């Protein structure tokens, strides 16, 4: 069996998820990791990673590495992805592709110039309940979908505080708009806008109402009204304000309605899943998206969501930020 030699750049929360999942893939060899944290690199070595680097430049110069996962903070996506493309590595890049459309265009151009593959990490595309919803749309059983409701609400960067007995510090970059491009809208909204574009095609117009419950200089929740070229109107509701996770999509069609509601399992159920299958329901879409990327890289196929998808998402988000409405 042909195996892909994979490197991972960035071992924060989502990087550790990808590290654990890569070890489950039989056609992948996770051979290198890069992070500024020596503790994170020590954890990677204990997980079986052969080579560790404190700089991603070093990893990208490793001729044995075929492809890379980039799970760095958003403001580092552009420089790292361009350097990876120029090193002729295929790229799995965490969402959002970049903090603004100009940077996204630079990434896409570098990928095209160097003829490498780029996939943006959107696990909802690999979530069974969302795939089932997509199949209903394709089959036409809902008729024409007039209105869609998409909700993604959680504790956002404060997730440690929701789960641990002792509060854990949140990395400072999370709250710097110059580094992230925005707050809850770009963070969680990118997931929902990409998913809805997968369902309905391109967005014709979009407006937003932003909320600042926590009095930060970036929004902690957003409600968007999007009009798609297909005729569907969508209401997108995202936020970091709730300790209770809520992810659901409801489609109101002229024939039938459909609801996809991602209810997280409780800790006991998740523990049983981990013991019996080595994967929880939460992790399965992440395993599937990475497995799909690895298969595409091995078999020379173009993966999706593409870099162009990531660009269209950030263009829509930027337009939503520009078209703010105030409710009084």
Give Cα separations from 300 to 109, 117, 133, 293, 294 (angstroms).
19, 9, 29, 10, 10
Given this model, what pLDDT does residue 282 score?
A: 74
Does 278 lie in the same domain as 144? yes
Provide the edge-to-edge strand list for the sheet that holds 118-121.
51-53, 28-34, 4-9, 67-70, 90-94, 118-121
Domain assignment present for 256:
yes
The pTM is what? Answer: 0.94
Burial pattern 81-105, b for ≥16 Cβ within 10 A else e, equals bbbbbebebbbbbbbbbbbbbebbb
Average pLDDT score, the chain: 93
220-256 confidence digits (pLDDT tens): 999 999 999 999 999 999 999 998 899 999 999 999 9
Same domain, 203 and 95: no
Q: How many domains does the chain have?
A: 2
In a domain, 291, yes or no: no
Q: 10 in a domain, yes or no? A: yes
Q: What is the pLDDT of residues 278-301, one digit of tens each?
A: 556 678 999 999 999 999 999 999
The Cα 210–Cα 326 span in angstroms is 8
Strands, sheet with 145-153, edge to edge from the N-terminal-most edge strand: 203-211, 221-228, 233-239, 145-153, 246-253, 257-261
Q: Evaluate whether residue 299 is within a structural domain.
A: no
Please check whether residues 108 and 139 belong to one and the same domain.
no
Regarding whether 76 and 42 lie in a shared domain, the answer is yes
Both tokens of residue 112?
């095209």
For residues 260 and 131, membership in a common domain is answered with yes
pLDDT score, position 161: 45
* Any domain includes 316: yes
Shared-domain flag, residues 172 and 90 = no
Q: Which CATH number is 78's domain given?
A: 3.40.50.720
Query: Residue 267: is its pLDDT beyond 60?
Result: no
Residue 177: which domain range? 125-286+306-322
Whether 245 and 221 map to the same domain: the answer is yes
pLDDT tier at 170, thresholds 50, 70, 90? confident
**Averaged pLDDT, 99-121:** 98
* Domain co-membership, 42 together with 57: yes
Give the domain-ending residue among 120, 155, 181: 120
Domain identity same for 28 and 142: no
Residue ending a domain, choose from 83, 103, 120:
120
Please check whether residues 65 and 177 belong to one and the same domain. Answer: no
What's the average model confidence in pLDDT over 102-123?
98
Shared domain for 82 and 21, answered yes or no, is yes
Nearest Cα to Cα of residue 84 among 40, 38, 25, 94: 94
- The answer to whether residue 328 is domain-embedded is no
Please name the residue that has the structure tokens 């990208």: 60
Q: Is residue 55 part of a domain?
A: yes
Domain annotation covers residue 296:
no
Distance CA 89, CA 83 (A): 9
State CA 79 to chain mean position distance. Answer: 18
Q: Are 73 and 217 contained in the same domain?
A: no
Q: Which of 120, 148, 178 finishes a domain?
A: 120
């Amino acid at each position: 069996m042909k195996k892909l030699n994979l490197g991972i750049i960035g071992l924060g929360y989502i990087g550790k998820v990808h590290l654990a999942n890569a070890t489950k893939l039989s056609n992948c060899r996770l051979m290198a990791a890069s992070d500024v944290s020596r503790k994170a690199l020590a954890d990677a070595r204990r997980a079986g990673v052969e080579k560790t680097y404190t700089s991603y430049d070093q990893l990208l110069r490793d001729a044995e590495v075929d492809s890379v996962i980039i799970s760095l903070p958003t403001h580092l996506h552009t420089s790292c992805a361009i350097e990876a493309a120029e090193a002729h590595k295929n790229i799995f890049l965490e969402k959002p592709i970049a903090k603004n459309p100009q940077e996204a265009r630079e990434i896409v151009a570098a990928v095209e110039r160097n003829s490498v593959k780029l996939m943006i990490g959107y696990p909802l595309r690999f979530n069974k309940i969302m795939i089932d919803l997509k199949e209903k749309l394709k089959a036409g059983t809902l008729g024409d979908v007039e209105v869609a409701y998409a909700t993604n609400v959680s504790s956002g960067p404060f997730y440690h505080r929701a789960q641990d007995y002792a509060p854990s510090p949140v990395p400072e970059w999370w709250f710097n708009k110059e580094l992230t491009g925005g707050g809850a809208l770009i963070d969680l909204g990118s997931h929902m806008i990409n998913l809805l574009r997968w369902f309905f095609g391109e967005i014709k117009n979009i407006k937003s109402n932003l909320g600042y419950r926590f009095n930060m200089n970036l929004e902690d929740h957003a409600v968007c009204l999007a009009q798609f070229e297909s005729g569907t109107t969508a209401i997108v509701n995202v936020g970091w304000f709730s300790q209770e996770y809520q992810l659901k999509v409801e489609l109101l069609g002229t024939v039938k309605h459909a609801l996809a509601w991602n209810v997280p399992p409780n800790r006991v159920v998740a523990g049983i899943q981990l013991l019996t299958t080595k994967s929880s329901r939460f992790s399965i879409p992440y395993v599937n998206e990475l497995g799909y990327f690895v298969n595409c890289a091995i078999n020379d196929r173009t993966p999706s969501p593409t870099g162009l998808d990531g660009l269209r998402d950030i263009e829509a988000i930027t337009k939503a930020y520009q078209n703010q409405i105030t409710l009084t």
